[in-house]
Amino acid sequence: MSDYKIIFSGPVGAGKTTAIQSISDILPVTTDEQASDMTRKMKNGTTVAMDYGLIKLPGTERIHLYGTPGQERFDFMWEILTNGGIGLVLLINNQRPDPFGDLHFFLNAFQAFIKQGKVVIGVTQMDQADTPRIEDYHLQLENSGVKIPVFDIDARIKKDVSILLEALLYSLDPGLEE
């Protein structure tokens, strides 16, 4: 049985939990601090909540979907969590006070993914805050060395999350057949 994972990351309220919910085949494990399933007790006593979902493919293959915990708890857990991931879906909440600050924080945290072009960016909550625009994000990314897909998405809408993942797959292999 082969297992693969896709990581969903981004600041609080960016839609990680919702996005995983939108495309998961199983009822995603809730990740609120109160929920105990996937909530892990860390050595220092803090709890780290994370999201988990699953896509079952024909045969035995499975894609695990992991959502990272909040950036205020950025620590070694992230590395373990993200190690060996197929790719990264970075969600940015356009309504937060400094979305570009968030963007750079996460790009920096996931440098390895970025350099290999294993990343797509979904900007959420654009219906609530229409600036910065998608073009502005591209300008911020000009120095990253790769052209990263950046889409305006609503994490509640399955099609939006799907197209973001499709772009990730084509970034990894443009020769994929429809």
Partner 1 sequence: MSDPQVSPIRVAAIGMDQRQRNALVMLFGNHCRNRYILVEEDSSEICIIDLDLFGGERLWQEFRQRHPDRPLILASLKPRQVENGHTLFVKKPIPVIQLMSAIDQLSQILNNRAAEQKIEAAQNAETTPSEPQHPRHSVSPVTQKVASLMTEAQEKVFIGTSPDIDPDNQAQLAKIYYDPQHYLQGHVQQALNQATRYNKNVTIEGPWPAIDMIIAKQQIMVDAREKHLRPFCTVPDATREVELQFHEQHKSATGRREYSIYAFIWQLALWASRGRLPSGTNLTQPIYLRRWPNFSRLVVTPHALAIAALWTRQPRSLIDTAKSLGIPQRYVFAFYSAANAVQLAGETRRAVDTLLEPPAIKQAENRGLFSKLLSRLRG
Binding residues for ligand GDP (CB under 6 A): 10, 12-18, 124-125, 127-128, 154-156
Q: Which is nearer to partner 1, 35 or 134 (CB)?
A: 134
Closest to 90 measured CA to CA, from 103, 77, 101: 103
Instruction: Determine the Cα–Cα distance for residues 174 and 176; give it in Å rounded to an integer.
Output: 6
Decide: is 178 part of the binding site for partner 1 (CB under 8 A).
Answer: yes
Residue 128 contact partner, candidates ligand GDP, Mg ion, partner 1, none, CB within 5 to 8 A by sort of partner: ligand GDP
5, amino acid identity: K
Closest to 120 measured CA to CA, from 176, 166, 156, 154: 166
Q: Which listed residue (49, 90, 119, 167) binds partner 1 by CB under 8 A?
A: 167
Instruction: Determine the Cα–Cα distance for residues 114 and 57; give it in Å rounded to an integer.
Output: 26
Residues that bind partner 1 (CB under 8 A): 2, 4, 23, 55, 57-59, 61, 63, 86, 122, 127, 130, 133-134, 138, 147-154, 156-160, 162-167, 169-178
